[in-house]
């Protein structure tokens, strides 16, 4: 117990220097946690927007539909499948969709679109589309041929609320069908790509115009209650709804997993950079401490303290400094992340650029227990590595020469 006591007292012999090092550890850990939380918040922002606006957690299709996008490749009993899924306690929300490629035209311009024939109530439970309508109130139950356009599409076609547009597409027989639609609402999401691609119509209208049977649909999309169980739930559904193709968001959009893995790599690189900076800062301080105490260390070795004990004394001094600063830095980082997750970081000045990547302009930093564990391990390794060189410098001293130092 003597060595730890001496090491602890040595730290506070030069209080200012020790507090500066401890402060640098606190600031470094705090900054690292903030940056890691910000990166994780960006990942969550991107993934949640893609899931909400495009992929959902799980989708079901005909096995060939995503390859050909042909109208005839529908699931004839989709409505019955939706009812089964709604009764599943693992499923939070589910919707059926009729997907048709077509040409949308106004008197001023025309644009290729993907028409989503939806039940608005079902769709709202999955994508919250009603909350994104900025003009109008959505579909009216007693009217036919209503359509929802994004703000971008409306601007391109130079149309507004209640304007008439013409939609041209193929039916299940391969014949060209045309329908005149009235704009019932204009919506806006944070994803520019999906805004320019998708328009929404009532599924009954699209079934009638494409000759798809009453319960037919091309896609069933759902959200699960436990996000971590997405893979296992999808596996169960593959057995339950064979031969239809069941895919998770990772299979539908592989770039999500790529983006996630890249961010993980960036977070590891960031952690290494911060830890290296701390290592050199601590080494510099501890080396100064050793060089200032050359005569003292020489005296300790002269009176019988062996080199191993001197080595561990310097190592413990370094570890004590790190262990004082790290918990404070982690606590500050945790509190900062919790606060910013609650209020969000407003990036509205860059909203147009963020829309290009499908991100909202408010980022909410977040951290997992795994991240905190990684930081703890990194701090311990950093402290040990930073202590080695000053400790080796101390034990290389020769007692006779050290005693002669001024």
402/406 Cα distance (integer angstroms): 9
* Domain membership flag for residue 298: yes
Same domain for 380 and 272, yes or no, is yes
**What is the chain's mean pLDDT, rounded?**
84
Rounded to the nearest 5°, which phi and psi values hold at 307?
Answer: -65, -30
Kindly tell me if the per-residue pLDDT of 151 is higher than 70: yes
For 147-151, 167-171, 277-281, 302-306, which range has the lowest pLDDT when averaged over its residues?
Answer: 302-306
Domain membership of residue 249 (yes or no) is: no
Domain housing 213: 63-243
* Cα distance between residue 209 and residue 55, in whole Å: 26
Q: Which of 243, 277, 292 is the last residue of a domain?
A: 243
Average pLDDT over residues 247-252: 88
Cα dihedral across residues 115, 118, 120, 122: positive or negative: negative
* The pLDDT of residue 85: 93
pLDDT digits (tens, 9 = 90+) for 162-212: 999 999 999 998 899 999 999 999 998 887 778 888 999 999 999 999 999
Q: How far apart are the C-alpha atoms of 197 and 193, rounded to whole Å?
A: 6
Give per-residue pLDDT as tens, 252-274: 887 777 777 777 788 788 888 88
DSSP letters, 292-352, are HTHHHHHHHHHTT--HHHHHHHHHHHHHHHHHHHHHHHHHHHHHHHHHHHHH-EE-GGGHH
Q: Does 205 share its domain with 127?
A: yes
3-state secondary structure of 112: strand
Q: Would strands 362-363 and 164-170 be described as parallel, antiparallel, or unpaired? A: unpaired
Residues 320 and 219 in one domain: no
* pLDDT tens-digit readout, 319-374: 888 888 888 988 998 999 999 988 888 777 766 666 666 677 778 888 888 888 88
Taking only Cα atoms into account, the Rg of the chain, rounded to an integer number of angstroms, comes to: 31
Instruction: Dig out the tokens for 105 from the structure.
Output: 């035209």
The phi and psi torsions of 74 (rounded to 5 degrees) equal -110, 165
Q: Give the pLDDT score at 180.
A: 93
Confirm if 150 and 96 have CB atoms less than 8 A apart: no
How high is the pLDDT of residue 367? 82
Residues 153 and 292 in one domain: no
Q: Give how far the C-alpha of residue 281 lies from the chain's centroid of Cα atoms, to the nearest Å.
A: 32
With respect to residue 11, please indicate whether it lies within any of the assigned structural domains.
yes
Determine the angle formed by the axes of helices 254-292 and 369-395, rounding to 10 degrees. 30
* Alpha-carbon distances of 108 from 26, 147, 159, 201, 362, rounded to whole Å: 61, 18, 8, 21, 35
Give 81-107 as a DSSP string. Answer: HHHHHHT-TTEEEEEEEEEEEEEEE-S
- The residues, ordered by sequence, that sit 6+ positions from 353 with a Cβ below 8 Å of its Cβ are none
Same domain, 135 and 84: yes
Residues 207, 326 share a domain: no
**Residue 145 and residue 33 share a domain:** no
Rounded Cα distance, 98 and 116, in Å: 6
Of 188, 213, 243, the residue at which a domain comes to its end is 243
Q: Is 232 within the bounds of a domain?
A: yes
Number of domains present in the structure of the chain: 2
The whole-number average pLDDT for the span 117-137 is: 90
Residue 369 falls within a domain, yes or no? yes
Query: Do residues 236 and 290 share a domain?
Result: no
On whether residue 282 sits in a domain, the answer given is: yes
pLDDT of residue 403: 55
Greater confidence (292 vs 88) lies with 88
What pLDDT digit, counting tens, does each position of 97-111 carry?
A: 999 999 999 988 999
* 178 lies in some domain: yes
- The residue behind tokens 């041929």 is 145
Residue 56 domain flag = no
Residues 363 and 275 placed together within one structural domain of the fold: yes
**172 and 272 together in one domain:** no
For tokens 């701390």, name the residue: 278
Q: Which of 199, 218, 243 is the last residue of a domain?
A: 243
164 plus 116 within the same structural domain = yes
In this prediction the pTM is 0.74
Residues 235 and 328 in one domain: no
| Cα–Cα distances in angstroms (integers) from residue 350 to residues 266, 361, 362, in the given order | 22, 7, 10
Are 283 and 388 contacting, i.e. CB atoms less than 8 angstroms apart?
A: no
């Amino acid at each position: 117990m003597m060595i730890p006591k001496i090491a602890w007292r040595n730290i506070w012999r030069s209080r200012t220097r020790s507090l500066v090092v401890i402060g640098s550890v606190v600031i470094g850990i705090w900054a690292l946690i903030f940056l890691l939380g910000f990166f994780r918040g960006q990942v969550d922002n991107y993934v949640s927007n893609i899931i909400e606006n495009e992929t959902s957690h799980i989708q079901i299709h005909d096995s060939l539909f995503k390859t050909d996008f042909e109208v005839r490749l529908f699931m004839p009993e989709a409505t019955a499948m939706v009812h089964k899924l709604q009764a599943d306690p693992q499923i939070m929300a589910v919707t059926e969709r009729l997907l048709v490629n077509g040409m949308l035209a106004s008197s001023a311009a025309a644009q290729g679109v993907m028409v989503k024939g939806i039940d608005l109530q079902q769709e709202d439970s999955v994508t919250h589309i009603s909350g994104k309508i900025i003009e109008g109130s959505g579909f009216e139950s007693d009217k036919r041929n209503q359509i929802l356009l994004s703000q971008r599409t409306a601007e391109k076609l130079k149309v507004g609320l209640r304007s008439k547009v013409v939609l041209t597409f193929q039916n299940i027989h391969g014949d060209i069908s045309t329908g005149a639609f009235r704009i019932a609402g204009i919506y806006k999401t944070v994803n520019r790509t999906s805004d320019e691609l998708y328009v929404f119509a009532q599924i009954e209208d699209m079934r009638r115009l494409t000759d798809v049977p009453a319960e037919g649909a091309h896609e069933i999309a759902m959200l699960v209650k436990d996000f971590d169980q997405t893979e296992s739930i999808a596996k169960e559904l593959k057995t339950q709804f064979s031969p239809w193709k069941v895919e998770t968001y990772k299979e539908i959009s592989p770039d999500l997993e790529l983006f996630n893995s890249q961010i993980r790599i960036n977070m590891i690189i960031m952690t290494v950079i911060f830890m290296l900076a701390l290592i050199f800062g601590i080494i510099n301080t501890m080396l100064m401490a050793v060089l200032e105490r050359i005569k003292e260390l020489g005296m300790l070795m002269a009176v019988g303290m062996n080199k191993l004990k001197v080595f561990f004394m310097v190592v413990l001094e370094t570890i004590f400094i790190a262990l004082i600063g790290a918990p404070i830095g982690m606590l500050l980082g945790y509190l900062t992340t919790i606060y910013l997750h609650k209020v969000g970081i407003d990036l509205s000045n860059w909203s147009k650029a963020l829309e290009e990547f499908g991100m909202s302009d408010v980022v909410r930093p977040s951290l997992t227990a795994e991240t905190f564990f990684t930081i703890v391990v990194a701090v311990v390794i950093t402290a040990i590595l930073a202590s080695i060189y000053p400790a080796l410098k101390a034990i290389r001293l020769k007692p006779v020469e050290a005693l002669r130092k001024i």
